[in-house]
Amino acid sequence: MDEIENVPHREYAISVNTDNLQEAIASVGSALYGLMEEALTAHEDHEGEDCEFEAFARDVLGVLMRHAEQLSADAVWSDQEHQGSG
């Protein structure tokens, strides 16, 4: 079991510095999309079996894609007043 390759150490850090909830969600959502896509790309093919991770990743990507406009900082949550008064 000595197959640790010389890949550079990778760190994932997501930091959002905003007092705007909508903006925070947009940033984290975009970051999640990127990570999911990367994980799915790196995921090895294995045909013929159900894969819980793949189902999860595709669901998440699907949801984020369907609401892509919500991942931009100037998304408008127009159905309700989420911004509070001010």
Residue 16's SS3 state is coil
| Dist. CA 60–CA 68, nearest whole Å | 12
| Dist. CA 70–CA 22, nearest whole Å | 8
Q: Which lies closer to Zn ion via its Cβ, residue 53 or residue 77?
A: 53
Q: Which of residues 47-86 bind Zn ion (CB under 5 A)?
A: 51, 54
- The distance of closest approach from Cβ of residue 57 to Zn ion in the complex, given in angstroms and rounded to an integer, is 9
Q: Which lies closer to Zn ion via its Cβ, residue 16 or residue 55?
A: 55
| Dist. CA 46–CA 37, nearest whole Å | 17
Q: Which lies closer to Zn ion via its Cβ, residue 23 or residue 54?
A: 54
What is the binding site for Zn ion (CB under 5 A)? 51, 54
